[in-house]
Amino acid sequence: MAVDGANLRTLFETIFRQQRTMERETLMMARFCRYIEKVFDFGQQIHTLRDTRKRPRIPTAALWGSVFFLFVLRRRSLNAMEQELDQRNRMERLIGKIKPSADRMGDVLGLMEPDQLRKMLSRINHQLGRNKALRNDWPLRVGTMDGHEFFFQPTSMLPPVF
């Protein structure tokens, strides 16, 4: 998933010990990143995303990855994620040295073709079906993920699916 040659599994190394809110945060984030990379080949999938910019300074994968982690880290806005990215070396291995601003993230998301995102979601949904993670009683499937609850809720409180 990273732009500068590093891969998604190294995310936990980019969250420095003094910047963590809890010791478990890094362990769970590393586990989450290994899971989505192993099961969904997530890094490869986001590198296939494109937008309509002619000569982008910041790769689309870096911008989309920033917004994806906005949801995973449960930041409430693009501005909050921009502050997260402004912390020196915080996610440099994933996003790259040139960090996107909140305005740029919003602009580029508006330039992306939604069909490519639908295809990516379809591939992820298909893989979840193959892994029997979602029941297939209906012709349609609905799945949600709440990064904050996943990272901080004790296992005993999670539903049986997890």
Q: If you average pLDDT over residues 28-54, what whole number do you get?
A: 85
By the 10 Å C-beta count (0-12 exposed, 13-18 middle, 19+ buried), 103 is classed as exposed
Averaged pLDDT of the chain: 73
**Average pLDDT of 81-100?**
72
Q: Where are the domains of the chain?
A: 8-157
Is-contact 63 52, C-beta < 8 A?
Answer: no
Q: What is the pLDDT of residues 111-148, one digit of tens each?
A: 888 899 889 888 888 888 888 876 667 777 666 655 44
Q: What is the DSSP string of 109-145?
A: HHHS-HHHHHHHHHHHHHHHHHTT-S--SSSS-----
pLDDT at 3: 46
Q: What are 70-87's pLDDT values in tens digits?
A: 888 788 888 888 887 776
